[in-house]
């Protein structure tokens, strides 16, 4: 909190509280720690009070033991996605090819590599803003394009862990999302079509051709989506399993080659 005085901090708390921030003290402290001086803090408080996610304002999110760089317009990694990371890490070891499809900031791949540093990591996203952010976080191996089309062809049949935290909100639910998501994250990062599973179905349709024999696809879904998601996986000739974590309120569907 370099040149931020207690009075600046108190002013920040007052402004955030007036804007309806429930955790005004905590957020003011985080903003102050990231601000170079009082003027920068005032600017950050203005952005936060206008509804921008805290993580986009300070430029990072702490997720699963790693600090992920973030910027405006990039999906903020969710706490519940820790379940994806935990499950992915159990399938990853030295040399495992891990792909973070629809990577956003690259948070999931970064967290898995933090747990298993020997993995060979690739990440893709269709959004150039997300790709730039993921490159910032992951370095090389980040590609831009539509789903698998962005991946090097040589990865076909070699992917051990295929993380696909795709957009999975049903279109009719988008208006009910918190304003932070609705107004400050791209709709392409959220909207999964009529039942939320459009992108998931597209991933599953191609997954078998990219997974290694014992490879696994992991996707976050909602409780409502369990039935259609498992049916989608089975229809593609893959084995489906559901994993939940009540504390995180997280549900993950995994798909493996039936013979794997
Ligand atoms: C829910 S966000 C998840 C981001 C990241 N995996 C995470 O968990 O923080 C979904 C991401 O998928 C990307 N996306 C949406 N449709 C895509 C497509 N057809 N091909 C590649 N990426 C896509 C969006 O740009 C967004 O970054």
**β-bridge mates for residue 121, sequence order:** 98
Q: What is the pLDDT of residue 95?
A: 97
Atom nearest to 100 CA in ligand 1: 6
Q: Cα(219)–Cα(255) distance, rounded to whole angstroms? A: 9
Q: Cα(113)–Cα(93) distance, rounded to whole angstroms? A: 10
Q: How confident is the model at residue 151 (pLDDT cuts 50, 70, 90)?
A: very high
- With 70 as the cut, is the pLDDT of residue 2 above it? no
For residues 235 and 4, the model is more confident at: 235
CA-closest candidate to residue 107, choices 137, 80, 127: 137
Q: Cα(138)–Cα(25) distance, rounded to whole angstroms? A: 32
Atom nearest to 165 CA in ligand 1: 6
Strand, helix or coil for residue 89: helix
Among protein residues, the one whose CA lies closest to atom 26 of ligand 1: 189
The rounded Å distance from CA 90 to ligand 1 centre is 23
68 phi and psi angles, rounded to 5 deg: -105, 125
HSE-up (13 A, CA, CB side) for residue 125: 27
Strand, helix or coil for residue 144: strand
235-256 confidence digits (pLDDT tens): 999 999 999 999 999 999 999 9
> Which residues contact residue 17 at a Cβ distance below 8 angstroms, ignoring those fewer than 6 apart?
24
- With 80 as the cut, is the pLDDT of residue 63 above it? yes
- With 80 as the cut, is the pLDDT of residue 258 above it? no
Say if residue 173 is exposed, middle or buried (CB neighbours under 10 Å; 0-12, 13-18, 19+): middle
Mutating to test ligand 1, I would choose from 75, 142, 150 the residue with most ligand atoms within 8 A of its C-beta, which is 75
The rounded Å distance from CA 31 to ligand 1 centre is 27
Question: Which ranges in the chain are annotated with CATH 3.40.50.150?
Answer: 79-257
Q: What is the pLDDT of residue 201?
A: 98
Q: List the beta strands (DSSP E) in 102-249.
A: 120-125, 142-144, 159-164, 211-221, 238-245
Mutating to test ligand 1, I would choose from 100, 126, 133, 151 the residue with most ligand atoms within 8 A of its C-beta, which is 126
pTM beyond 0.75: the answer is yes
Give the number of other CB atoms < 10 A from CB of residue 157. Answer: 13
Q: What is the pLDDT of residue 46?
A: 96
- Distances in Å between the alpha carbon of 21 and those of 54, 151, 155, 170, 180? 10, 41, 45, 27, 12
Helix H or strand E segment including 252: strand 250-257
Q: How confident is the model at residue 257 (pLDDT cuts 50, 70, 90)?
A: confident
Give the number of other CB atoms < 10 A from CB of residue 37. Answer: 12
Please identify which residue in the block is written with the tokens 């399993």.
241
Structure tokens belonging to residue 200: 């998931």
182-216 confidence digits (pLDDT tens): 999 999 999 999 999 999 999 999 999 999 999 99
Structure tokens belonging to residue 87: 């499950």
Q: What is the pLDDT of residue 260?
A: 45
The rounded Å distance from CA 198 to ligand 1 centre is 13
Q: What is the pLDDT of residue 253?
A: 98
The rounded Å distance from CA 36 to ligand 1 centre is 32
Q: What is the pLDDT of residue 4?
A: 83
Domain 79-257, architecture per CATH: 3-Layer(aba) Sandwich (3.40)
- With 80 as the cut, is the pLDDT of residue 109 above it? yes
Q: What is the pLDDT of residue 259?
A: 59
Residues with CB under 6 A from ligand 1: 75, 77, 81, 102-105, 107-108, 125-127, 130, 146-147, 165-167, 188-189, 199
Helix H or strand E segment including 7: helix 6-18
Average pLDDT along the chain? 96
């Amino acid at each position: 909190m370099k040149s931020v005085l207690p009075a600046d901090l108190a002013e920040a708390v007052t402004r955030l509280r007036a804007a309806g921030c429930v955790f005004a003290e905590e957020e003011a402290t985080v903003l102050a720690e990231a601000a170079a001086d009082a003027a920068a803090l005032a600017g950050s408080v203005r952005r936060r009070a206008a509804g921008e996610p805290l993580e986009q304002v300070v430029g990072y999110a702490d997720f699963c033991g790693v600090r992920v760089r973030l910027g405006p317009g990039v999906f903020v990694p969710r706490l519940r996605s820790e379940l994806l990371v935990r499950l992915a890490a159990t399938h990853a070891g030295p040399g495992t090819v891990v792909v973070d499809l629809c990577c956003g900031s690259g948070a999931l791949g970064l967290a898995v590599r933090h747990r298993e540093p020997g993995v060979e990591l690739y990440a893709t996203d269709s959004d150039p803003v997300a790709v730039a952010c993921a490159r910032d976080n992951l370095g090389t191996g980040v590609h831009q394009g539509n789903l698998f089309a962005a991946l090097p062809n040589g990865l076909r049949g070699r992917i051990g862990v295929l993380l696909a935290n795709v957009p999975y909100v049903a279109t009719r639910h988008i208006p009910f999302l918190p304003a932070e998501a609705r107004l400050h994250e791209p709709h392409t990062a959220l909207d999964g079509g009529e039942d939320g599973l459009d992108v998931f179905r597209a991933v599953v349709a191609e997954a078998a051709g990219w997974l290694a024999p014992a490879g696994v696809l992991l996707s976050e879904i909602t409780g409502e989506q369990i039935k259609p998601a498992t049916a989608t996986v089975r229809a593609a000739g893959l084995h489906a399993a559901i994993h939940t974590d009540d504390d995180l309120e997280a549900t993950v569907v995994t798909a493996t080659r039936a013979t794997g």
